[in-house]
Amino acid sequence: MPPRPMPAAIVSAALATLMLVTAGCSPSPDNAGDKAGSSKSSKSADASGKQQDVVDSGAASAGIDPMKPPKPVTSFTAPAPYVKDPEATARFDIYSIKRQGKLAILTLSVTPTFSTVDPAGLFSLMGNHLFSPTLIDPVNLREYKVVSTRSGNLSTSDISTKTPSGKPIFVWAAFAAPPANVGSVTLNLYDTLPGIAGVPVQ
């Protein structure tokens, strides 16, 4: 079965931004794709017509069916430095790093366990640390950072994407693709977590 492509809006916006960055130009908000992949809380109407917040797990922007998520290539559980619960943990399921033209798209999920009732965002779950992963190319000894624009990184919004305890947050990030001879990389998610070696680049 062929790899499932990322949403066209994410890939096209990221490619446009990558070309501008590569050319040394400053991307403008109109072509930077600053809205692609940003996860915002939507609204739904109840029976009385009032608007209610709906928690956005980030599945749509990551291009993942939350009812049938991909099989992870690797998983691990680590303490989550959530200030509201010092006993909180988070399971990280790394789904894939897939080449999409000049980009490499990382997708994963983070499933926290915590004692508070209200949903929490990835930013607060990880001790108010921004989601800014990097890839280490062991062949060419290069580090790849998330493609950035003047409006922000091309990745999941780790503040507006939220989840209750026990439910996953789906996360994505776009990098410049490593050379074709690089079959795997080391993935660094946060400074507080160890690097994950040998993650395949498809």
109 close to 144: Cβ distance less than 8 angstroms: no
**Mean pLDDT computed over every residue of the chain:** 79
The pLDDT tens digits of the residues spanning 4-51 come to 445 444 555 454 444 433 333 333 333 333 334 444 444 433 343 333
Q: Is residue 68 part of a domain?
A: yes
The pLDDT tens digits of the residues spanning 64-78 come to 999 999 999 999 999
**Residue 50 exposed, middle or buried by CB count within 10 Å (0-12, 13-18, 19+):** exposed
Question: What is the pLDDT at residue 55?
Answer: 61
Structural domain total, the chain:
1
Q: Is residue 3 part of a domain?
A: no
C-alpha closest to that of 194 among 136, 115, 111: 136
Look at residue 163 and give its three-state secondary structure. strand
Q: What is the CATH number of the domain that holds 194?
A: 2.60.40
Please provide the size of the chain in residues: 202
Separation of alpha carbons 181 and 149, rounded Å: 28
pLDDT above 70 covers a percentage of the chain that reads 72
Q: How confident is the model at residue 151 (pLDDT cuts 50, 70, 90)?
A: confident
Separation of alpha carbons 202 and 124, rounded Å: 31
Question: What is the pLDDT at residue 53?
Answer: 39
Question: What is the pLDDT at residue 154?
Answer: 85
Q: Is residue 160 part of a domain?
A: yes
Helix (H) or strand (E) holding 108: strand 103-113
Q: Is residue 47 part of a domain?
A: no
Least confident residue range of 29-43, 104-118, 163-177: 29-43
**Token pair of 195 as six digits:** 């690097």
Q: Is residue 1 part of a domain?
A: no
Domain that holds residue 96: 8-34+55-200
160 close to 148: Cβ distance less than 8 angstroms: no
Q: Is residue 49 part of a domain?
A: no
140 close to 146: Cβ distance less than 8 angstroms: no
Side chain identity at 199, as an amino acid letter?
A: V
